[in-house]
Structure 1
Amino acid sequence: MTNWKINNQSHRHLMIQEHANEISIVEPYHNGSFKILAEINLNQTSNEVQLNDENLYVSVSKEHKEINIFDKVK
């Protein structure tokens, strides 16, 4: 993840992890578990993000290696 610029504007406590050809944005819980909020497949040519949380907005630019994370306004 050292090559990526992360613009995290969310008020939630998030962790970002890269494994193989995927980046995951997760929210850790106090009991040691976590919820996967978004997944980015680095093998795809598009900048599509699989969102698993309706309260989060995530955009990605693979070309610029940049991830933007925002809370959705309710």
Structure 2
Amino acid sequence: MTRTEVARIKALLRNTFWQFEDESDFDITPKLVRQFAQSQLHPDVIEATAINISGRGFWLRVEKLCNLTIHARQYI
């Protein structure tokens, strides 16, 4: 995954969750995202997006989480 794609996903993360608005790209790390998910998200959402699993494809799973959240907000 290129740095441009990761930067785009981090921008999506900041736009989706207000808790990340003040964070810079450098400060948004997989560890920070996992800590946020464990403290703020329902366990079913964490399991469905596999956000708690490290390794390849992590940022794609973050993108999936953001898109799922945006989609769910439309129906609330």
Instruction: Using structure 2 for the length normalisation, give the TM-score.
Output: 0.30
Structure with greater strand share of residues? 1
Structure with greater helix share of residues? 2
